[in-house]
Amino acid sequence: MKLEIVALQENNKVMQSYNNDKDFLHTFFDYKNEESSYPERLEELAGRTFGRTQLAETIRSFMEPFGISANASKHIDELSGNAVVVIGGQQAGILTGPLYSVHKAITVILLAKEQRDKLGVPVVPVFWVAGEDHDLNEINHVYTRLEGRATKHQYRENFVLKLMASDAEYDKELMASLVKDIFGKFGETAYTKDLLDEVLGAVDKEETFTRFFVRLMNGLFKEEGLLFIDSATKQLRELEKSSFAHLIEESEQLAKKISKKEELFVEKGFGSPLVAEIDAANLFYVHDTGRVLLSRKDDYFVNESLGLRFSKTDMLKIAQEEPWLLSNNVATRPLMQDMVFPVLAFVGGPGEIAYWAVLKEAFHHLGMKMPIIVPRMSMTLVTPQVKHTLSEKNFTVEDVMSGAVVNAREHFVKGLHDECFDAVLNETENMLDIQYKKIAEFTEQQGQMMQELLKKNLLFHTKQLDYLKGKAEEAELLKHDTVLRAFGLLEGELFPEGVLQERLYTPYTYLNSYGPTLIQELLRLPLVMDGTHKVIYL
């Protein structure tokens, strides 16, 4: 396994500014993403109080069914003491979702280890699973590679209600069938049977998307002591009672501050990551019909489409007596996370960093500073076959990601056209057109029916010429199939559908080929969180 560092062109304006613009950082964040920020943040956390014992018990209780390693148990014990956490999260995708879920977990683990050594205090890695999210269409599919293209495999069951991922129970037969179909596309290797048995075992043991996700992720990272918590678990909701009450009490002010900050974000040309509204409650209510968003109207918390109407007193009572009926939205989740966990640093992707950027004043209003924000590491895995093809065609990984390979393929295909053949076909088409015009002159007096017949007849011959042209092109492409497959392999593996590999393919694509120790091998590489893209030759 070989590591190569690549400085890809950053097209995301928010990330460009986050990495390079000091004024941007000062305006939208509390800490710079640099070494000197960590002791400062540690000192700030020391002045705050957390329900550490209950938090540790909650995590232990949640993780017990999945298996708690010695390292994880040690981390839970440390969390009940004086530990701080590096935290990152993701939705509960099938087969762990795209590779970036694993990349995020790797970043969290390595950053926690690094800061534990440097600060001399326990720093614990935590993965916050967004189990309260209800957009199941974002997590119900997996992509595989087929003949150089990304192919989507979707869990087909329809959920009528807006169920949270933690409440959405899958059909075990349907899920097992989907998993088998996906593994069938991977191809048989020495690792396939054990890996497939493990995944099918997880399908059978669990019932919801969230628990299926956690069982697989815990299996991949168990020895690293990565802790997991589901944002929707009832025991966590109990711990969040007072925090929900705080969010309810300050709902109006939080909405104003978030909206105002997003207006500034828009003015500076960064867009509207939250599309914040001044009357937003920034909370969901878990109703019989699913998870529904609340707004504020006339001092009430409402969802008008369902006729829901709660006074502030009602909401505070729910927070105290039935907190599992409340759920955070994208704006309050970071706030809740920081109220519950002693967060040293948060690891996020570009989209997350964009919406965190409008929350600074909301954090301050609740008496907190934002944690240090660390972009997750971005990686591309290169198989030996792809490495060989890159070398053979004299391309680099950067060439593929910049579009140079697409341009080279198009140039190659254009060069295959037989211009003489095209000229003969065009000449034939022109001759037909001329001859049919002459025939039309002779049949002009024979009525409209004859004219229509001539048009159809000419169209038939024109279509036949087009068909002949298409078949000639097909035959030419077939002659050069090996070269074209090489182009397809590079694009399909390294930049599928015009996006980075990590945004599409499941890690099981690579675990199937390289075995279950692949994650540990990645963790042993000298990976540095410096904003560069990591290319890893397998």
> What CATH number should be reported for the domain holding residue 24?
3.40.50
343 and 246 assigned to the same domain: no
**Amino acid identity of 31?**
Y
Task: Please give the radius of gyration of the chain, using alpha carbons only, rounded to the nearest integer.
Answer: 29
Final residue before a domain boundary, out of 479, 511, 531: 479
Domain that holds residue 318: 242-250+268-328
Q: Looking at the structure, tell me whether residues 153 and 225 fall in a common domain.
A: no
Paired with 280 in beta bridges are 295
CA distance 25 to 34: 12
| Residue 474 and residue 433 share a domain | yes
- Inside any domain, residue 530: no
Question: What is d(CA 30, CA 32) in angstroms, rounded to the nearest whole number?
Answer: 7
Token couple for 452: 């229509």
Tokens standing for residue 465? 């010429």
Distance of alpha carbon 87 from alpha carbon 68, whole angstroms: 18
| Pairing state between β 2-6 and 123-129 | unpaired
Domain assignment present for 232: yes
Do residues 107 and 228 both lie within one domain?
Answer: yes
194 domain residue, yes or no: yes
Residues 370/363, Cβ–Cβ less than 8 Å: yes
Q: In terms of domains, do 351 and 226 share one?
A: yes
- pLDDT for the residue 480: 53
Determine the angle formed by the axes of helices 192-205 and 172-186, rounding to 10 degrees: 160
Which residues in the chain show pLDDT less than 50? none
Give the pLDDT score at 419.
56
**Per-residue model confidence (pLDDT) at position 116:** 98
The string of pLDDT tens digits covering residues 348-367 is 999 999 999 999 999 999 99
- pLDDT for residue 405: 83
Q: Is there a single domain that holds both residue 276 and residue 153?
A: no
Domain count, the chain: 4
Q: What secondary structure letter does DSSP report for 83? A: -
Domain for residue 486, yes or no? Answer: no
For residue 373, being part of any structural domain is answered with: yes
Q: Please compute, for residue 68, the number of CA atoms within 13 A of its CA located in the half-sphere on the CB side.
A: 18
Cβ atoms within 10 Å of 476's Cβ, excluding its own: 14
Q: Tell whether 507 is covered by a domain.
A: no
Q: Are residues 54 and 17 in the same domain?
A: yes
361 lies in the same domain as 221: yes
Distance CA 321, CA 150 (A): 48
Which helix (H) or strand (E) segment holds residue 236: the answer is: helix 234-239
pLDDT of residue 482: 64
> 382, 410, 445 — which closes off a domain?
382
Q: Are residues 157 and 70 in the same domain?
A: no
* Domain assignment of residue 463, yes or no: yes
Strands, DSSP E only, in 298-390?
A: 300-303, 308-311, 326-328, 343-348, 372-375, 378-382
Q: Of 293, 310, 328, which residue constitutes the final position of a domain?
A: 328
Longest alpha-carbon distance in the chain = 101
User: Is 509 within the bounds of a domain?
Assistant: no
Instruction: Answer yes or no: do 165 and 120 share one domain.
Output: no
The conformational region for residue 24 under phi > 0 = left, psi -120 to 50 = alpha, else beta, is alpha
Starting at the edge strand found earlier in the chain, the sheet holding 372-375 runs 227-230, 123-129, 84-90, 343-348, 372-375
369: nearest Cα among 19, 18, 47: 47
Going by C-alpha positions, the residue among 341, 327, 332, 130 that lies closest to residue 231 is 130
Among 81, 78, 88, residue whose Cα is nearest residue 110: 88
Same domain, 281 and 344: no
* pLDDT, position 471: 62
Would you state the structure tokens that stand for residue 346, as one six-digit string? Answer: 């948060």
Let me know whether 59 and 94 are in one domain: yes
